Structure 1
Amino acid sequence: MCPSYFFFFCIGSSHEDDMPVVSFNFMLPKKEISMVPDMGKWKRSQAYADYMGFILTLNEGVKGKKLTCEYQVSETVEKLLAMLATLDRWIDETPPVDQPSRFGNKAYRTWYAKLDQEAEALVTAVLPSERHDAAPEIAVYLKEAVGSIIYKHQCI
């Protein structure tokens, strides 16, 4: 099984036409690391090896490149940037609530509720049609990347 986070960032690679057709088994993520000893299991997993390989490949890909060099932007990267622009626009549309709070601004709940409702559609818009079945799994990663509303509710 290919970890979706790896697939998500590679779908627009310039080599996608050269790649063989592979079938994937997508599933909603579940928490597997609950305690410090669980980290050993993660570090020995194929997913960890794939993730680290992905990070190292990204690192190697930018070595020696100037920030000002010209580069081609793939359609997938354009779609990802549009998705991020949408999230940014939602921030502008959800101004902070003027209120004293020890655990963050309550406007975050409103913003997160919109993300929670729209995440799967946002992800689907980035994915090629033959990979739309990955959207529910990747949407979870997107939502968790910005924080947890559950944690915020427990703290307030």
Structure 2
Amino acid sequence: MKELPREKIEELDNETFDKVSEFRQPEKLINEAKDMQHFRMSKAYFRIVSYIQALNVACVGIKDYHVHYSSRVANVLDVLEQVQEITESVPLEPGRHRFGNPAFRKWHAKLMESAPTMLDTIVPSSLGAAQVELLDYFLGSFGNAQRIDFGTGHELNFLGFLKGLDLLNLLTYEDCAAVALYVSHTYLEVCRRLVQKYRLEPAGSHGVWGLDDHFFIPYIFGSAQLASPSGNVLGLRPSAILDKELTAELSKSNLYFSAIEFINVMKKGPFYEHSPILYDITAVPSWSKVNQGLLKMYDVEVLSKYPVVQHFHFGKLFPFHKFI
């Protein structure tokens, strides 16, 4: 990921948002592959990258994702619980369906109807104008209703939603560990339930040559949990994921192992066949190296890919204008 000079880092978020800020419906501004070059020099790109880096640092060495959290984080968790309740309330459509279950479209319509009220519990009236931007990222976080799919672009929108809250001081620097671990875990559980129940297709998947069909973020933050300057936390090497019993146990506290456990549930056959990239990572000697490699891979495979980033929108919170 691109590194910024210190003075540019300080400038990046040095912006005051209030009720008179010019919030607007975020726009689709990446319309062809050549727009990616502009995106990767934009303020939006660097706000996303700096936030991922801050969240990643906050995870280092924290063994359990069940961390203490503030009332600010509790508000976000409550909203995610409401999203989960919608999932349980929308039944599947009967019959055989080639690409996912069409009931997901009803689910998404119900989310769109409920989302403004949900966000009212997070966003105070003094910042009510910001909700139009936050809603765009929030609604883009849970898959695409038309394609009935879910992938890393939707994860990216959720990061945008969280960073938007951070920019508005509705989350703070002190919340980083809880956001990266507990909020991410809860969001992942919501999305895994959607994937399983409605059989959401992988969005923009590279097939077996992708890291994961649907997710990327848990691998970054989960590897950070196990990384430490003094060595591997818990004395575990990356090859430990090949032990299914150990993986099932550690999935209750670590995001990386939680992601591997979901693969073990969803896929059959030898691990090296259905997940060759993750299998190759087992040969890396330390979690610190895994974490560093995954941050670089995210920049290349997510933030540099037109098919993924084209669905991210731009407004006041994430300006498309050139930053460097």
Q: TM-score, normalised by structure 2?
A: 0.38
CA RMSD after TM alignment: 2.2
Q: For residues 119-138 of structure 1, what are the alpha-carbon distances to aligned partners after superposition, in whole Å with 9 as ceiling and x for unaligned?
A: 12212211233222211211
What CA distance in whole angstroms lies between the structure 2 residues aligned with 1:21 and 1:135? 16
In the other structure, the counterpart of 1:120 is 116
SS of equivalent to 1:35? coil
| Correspondence 1:79-90 to 2 at 5 A | 79-90=75-86
Shift of 1:22: 4.1
- Runs (5+) with no aligned partner, structure 1: 1-18
What CA distance in whole angstroms lies between the structure 2 residues aligned with 1:136 and 1:20? 19
In the other structure, the counterpart of 1:12 is none
Q: How many equivalent residue pairs?
A: 133
In the other structure, the counterpart of 2:135 is 139
Q: Which amino acid aligns with 2:63?
A: K
**Contact conserved, 2:105 with 2:146, CA < 8 A, in 1?**
no
In the other structure, the counterpart of 1:39 is 36
Shift of 1:20: 9.1
In the other structure, the counterpart of 1:149 is 145
Q: Which has the larger radius of gyration?
A: 2
- Runs (5+) with no aligned partner, structure 2: 1-13, 149-324
What CA distance in whole angstroms lies between the structure 1 residues aligned with 2:125 and 2:60? 33
What CA distance in whole angstroms lies between the structure 2 residues aligned with 1:151 and 1:54? 29
What CA distance in whole angstroms lies between the structure 2 residues aligned with 1:107 and 1:49? 37
| Correspondence 1:3-18 to 2 at 5 A | none
Change (3 A) 1:20 1:74: farther
| Aligned partner (choices 35, 45, 48) of residue 48 of structure 1 | 45
SS of equivalent to 1:31? coil
What CA distance in whole angstroms lies between the structure 2 residues aligned with 1:74 and 1:133? 24
In the other structure, the counterpart of 1:16 is none
In the other structure, the counterpart of 2:59 is 62
Q: For residues 25-45 of structure 1, what are the alpha-carbon distances to aligned partners after superposition, in whole Å with 9 as ceiling and x for unaligned?
A: 321111111222111111000
What CA distance in whole angstroms lies between the structure 2 residues aligned with 1:141 and 1:57? 20
SS of equivalent to 1:126? coil
Q: TM-score, normalised by structure 1?
A: 0.75
Q: Which amino acid aligns with 1:84?
A: L
Q: How high is the sequence identity, in percent, across the aligned residues?
A: 27
